[in-house]
């Protein structure tokens, strides 16, 4: 029976491969003609529906081959997820000027020329995935050297999981002088045959051996002094709010495995965007609740999150903490500054903006936040990246007023944020997509992991309680890296 099943699976896979490769070949031929006509390279793509497969296992499929050119993305509720392997098209620069506009223009041009066969949904076909650093005017340090200030790519292979259905997209970049268009694609054939096994591997995967490590907080007392300085400058009226972040370093015996980290974040951190951006020597990974902007058709959506408190041990205590948060003047002020700025920016971008007057509570596994959903109908001609530029950094990630807050961060924060709190996300050929602020995140450098967490500082901020708030914000990544119980070095 097993053998018959095996034969059936092989036949099904062969059919899938032949459909996908035939369509891909057809679009490559069409793409070559277009490329010759225009004298430019053209993105071509073909899509098939596949059976359910294990997404973190797909992320580490043939790791030696795809390492450094992978991405992972999963929306809260896990309604929509993407996993990309390889790169067929890349936009990477450290140029500071017009960085949003340049990506916008390049992607619109690429997307307009793209040839996509059998595209069953807007979440398949060529998707551009990547982001921008937090602050292009901050000098890049060694640990972030893999991450350019602007870095986007279209993957060679991508799985889309959407509302329980799974699709495989295969992309190519075809130039005018492409000499031979290979119809026999071994890489694609191998991948299709491996997909059902990935599912099995995922379901039988054993827990990892514990990875021994040392946990080191980086200059916590200096950070608290910086909070003190920021709060007193806010009380003097020099600025209204600034988000100050600090980092924590884990030194492990064995290299961190991004697949296991993703699996844990997906299971534990339900109301968050789970992401990974993999580069040759490092992987930026996290589970952020901070939506920056989503574009679906003509609608723009954002969720302003600022103001935090712990989760309770019991449901009674949890409700008490939530109720405290909803009425706490300091947290409400912290939240209000973010909402006012975001609403103002949305009013510039949209014709009608809707937002409730009072925040709601957004509960995450280890922390709860004040949250205000804001939505609007985008004005004619406004792009997703224009919205990202208008919104980033929000006062939940940078501060208020924006430029003064950025100066304060450069002066007071003794670290390179790199892509922490930066805008990361994706865009399809219809110019829809979504960007988030990459908080609750870590940079994995083989046996080292840098974790980042920040707090919105206002006039009433107390250094110790902000310090405790950052400790809460480290918890999800510490758990996912199996480092919560590790010995603290200082």
Ligand X SMILES: C=C(O[C@H]1C=CC=C(C(=O)O)[C@@H]1O)C(=O)O
Number of chain positions touching ligand X (CB under 6 A): 19
Closest approach of Mg ion to the CB of residue 304, in Å: 13
Q: Is 290 a catalytic residue?
A: yes
Identify what 369 binds: ligand X, Mg ion, none; CB under 5 to 8 Å per kind. Answer: ligand X
Give the integer Cα–Cα distance in Å for 44 and 33: 12
Any idea what DSSP says for residue 139? P
Whether 75 has a binding-site annotation, put simply, is no
CB nearer to ligand X: pick between 81 and 331: 331
Least distance to Mg ion from the beta carbon of 203, Å?
A: 39
440 binds, among ligand X, Mg ion, none (CB under 5 to 8 A by kind): ligand X
Which among 37-45, 52-60, 62-70, 301-309 is the span making contact with ligand X, rule CB under 6 A? 301-309
Whether 413 is a known active-site residue: answer no
Stretch that binds ligand X, among 94-102, 191-199, 209-217, 454-462 (CB under 6 A): 454-462
Kindly name the residue from 34, 143, 156, 241 that is annotated as catalytic. 241
What residues from 349 to 378 belong to the interface with ligand X (CB under 6 A)? 369
Report whether 334 belongs to an annotated binding site.
yes
- Evaluate whether 385 touches 434 at the Cβ level (below 8 Å): no
Residues within window 26-55 making contact with Mg ion, judged by CB under 5 A: none
**Should residue 439 be labelled a site residue for ligand X when binding is judged by CB under 6 A?**
yes
- For position 239 contacting ligand X by CB under 6 A, the verdict is no
Shortest separation between residue 455's beta carbon and Mg ion, angstroms: 5
Q: Does 396 bind ligand X (CB under 6 A)?
A: yes
Residue 247: partners with Cβ closer than 8 Å, 6 or more residues away: 218, 415, 450, 451, 452, 453
Q: Given the complex with ligand X, which of 423 and 456 has the nearer CB atom?
A: 456
461 binds Mg ion (CB under 5 A): no
| Given 398, 418, 456, 463, the residue binding ligand X (CB under 6 A) | 456
Q: Cβ 367 to Mg ion, closest distance in Å?
A: 10
Query: First CA to last CA across the chain, in angstroms?
Result: 60
Q: Which residues are annotated as a binding site for Mg(2+)?
A: 334, 469
Q: Which residues bind ligand X (CB under 6 A)?
A: 243, 245, 290, 305-308, 334, 369, 396-397, 421, 439-440, 453-456, 473
As annotated, the active-site residues are 241, 290
């Amino acid at each position: 029976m097993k053998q018959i099943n095996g034969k059936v699976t092989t036949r099904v896979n062969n059919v899938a491969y032949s459909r996908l490769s035939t369509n891909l070949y057809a679009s490559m031929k069409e793409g070559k003609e277009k490329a010759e006509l225009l004298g430019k390279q053209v993105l071509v793509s073909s899509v098939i529906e596949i059976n359910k497969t294990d997404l973190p296992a797909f992320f580490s499929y043939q790791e030696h081959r795809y390492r450094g050119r992978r991405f992972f993305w999963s929306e809260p509720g896990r309604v929509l997820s993407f996993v990309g392997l390889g790169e067929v098209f890349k936009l990477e620069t450290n140029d500071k000027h017009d960085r949003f506009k340049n990506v916008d223009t390049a992607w619109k041009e690429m997307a307009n020329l793209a040839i996509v066969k059998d595209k069953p949904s807007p979440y398949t076909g060529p998707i551009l995935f990547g982001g921008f650093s937090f602050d292009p005017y901050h000098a890049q340090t060694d640990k972030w050297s893999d991450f350019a200030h602007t870095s986007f790519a279209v993957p060679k292979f991508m799985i889309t999981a959407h509302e329980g259905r799974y699709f495989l997209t295969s992309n190519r970049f075809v130039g005018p002088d492409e000499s031979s268009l290979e119809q026999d694609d071994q890489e694609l054939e191998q991948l299709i045959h491996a997909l059902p096994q990935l599912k099995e591997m995922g379901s039988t995967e054993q827990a990892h051996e514990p990875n021994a490590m040392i946990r080191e907080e980086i200059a916590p007392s200096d950070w608290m002094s910086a909070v003190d300085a920021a709060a007193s400058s806010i009380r003097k009226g020099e600025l209204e709010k600034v988000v100050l972040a600090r980092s924590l370093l884990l030194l492990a015996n064995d290299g961190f495995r991004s697949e296991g980290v993703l699996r844990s974040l997906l299971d534990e951190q339900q109301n968050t965007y789970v992401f990974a951006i993999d580069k040759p020597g490092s992987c930026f990974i996290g589970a952020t609740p901070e939506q920056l902007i989503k574009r679906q058709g003509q609608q723009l959506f954002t969720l302003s999150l600022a103001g935090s408190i712990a989760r309770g041990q019991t449901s009674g205590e949890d409700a008490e903490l939530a109720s405290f948060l909803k009425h706490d003047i300091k947290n409400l002020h912290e939240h209000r500054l973010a909402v006012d700025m975001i609403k103002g920016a949305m009013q510039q971008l949209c014709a009608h903006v809707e937002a409730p007057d009072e925040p709601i509570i957004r509960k995450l596994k280890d922390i709860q936040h004040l949250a205000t959903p804001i939505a609007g109908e985008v004005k004619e001609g406004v792009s997703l990246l224009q919205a990202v530029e208008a919104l980033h950094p929000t006062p939940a990630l940078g501060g208020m007023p924006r430029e003064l807050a950025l100066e304060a961060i450069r002066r007071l924060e003794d670290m390179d944020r790199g892509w922490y709190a930066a805008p990361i996300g994706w865009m399809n050929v219809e110019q829809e997509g979504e960007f988030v602020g990459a908080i609750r995140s870590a940079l994995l450098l083989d046996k080292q992991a840098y974790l980042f967490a920040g707090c919105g500082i206002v006039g009433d901020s107390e250094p110790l309680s902000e310090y405790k708030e950052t400790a809460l914000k480290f918890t999800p990544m510490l758990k996912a890296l199996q480092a919560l119980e590790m010995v603290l070095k200082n």
